Amino acid sequence: SSPQTFYDAVGGHDTFVRIVHRFYEQVADDPVLRPLYPEEDLGPAEVRLRMFLEQYWGGPQTYSQQRGHPRLRMRHAPFPIGPLERDAWLRCMKVAVDEENLEPERHRQIWEYMEMAAMSMMNKAF
């Protein structure tokens, strides 16, 4: 049998649903992030981020089936993302991830990834 994926180890679908839902609850109230979202309904954006993270961590590959290659930097090009936006994104995500009470090593892994990913999405310097 293949080794357990990170996705399975942290509780699979339900865990990712909770993290991303909590993240978007924060986004809805965030004065920096909320205006960047073109749609009034954050629901579809929530589903896309959830599918992407599930796929990244070894869960179902539904994101790519529905959206194709992630190309996340390209998809974020329409939104100005500087240090302020990056920090706001990470602040919202930290609340969501911390509430899961993951094992320290799992927490460290996912948080390191979030910091790296948020940094790499920046497309302006200020």
Binding of ligand HEM by 49 (CB under 6 A): yes
Q: How far is CA 123 from CA 26, 54, 92, in A?
A: 22, 25, 19
Q: Is 86 in the site for ligand HEM (CB under 6 A)?
A: yes
92 binds ligand HEM (CB under 6 A): no
Residue 17 in the binding site for ligand HEM (CB under 6 A): no
Instruction: Count the residues of the shown chain that bind ligand HEM, applying the rule CB under 6 A.
Output: 21
Measure the N-to-C terminal CA separation of the chain; round to a whole number of Å.
48
Q: In the structure encoding, which two tokens stand for residue 90, read together?
A: 């990470």
- For ligand HEM, give the closer residue by CB, 84 or 99: 84
Residue 95 interacts with ligand HEM (CB under 6 A): yes or no = no
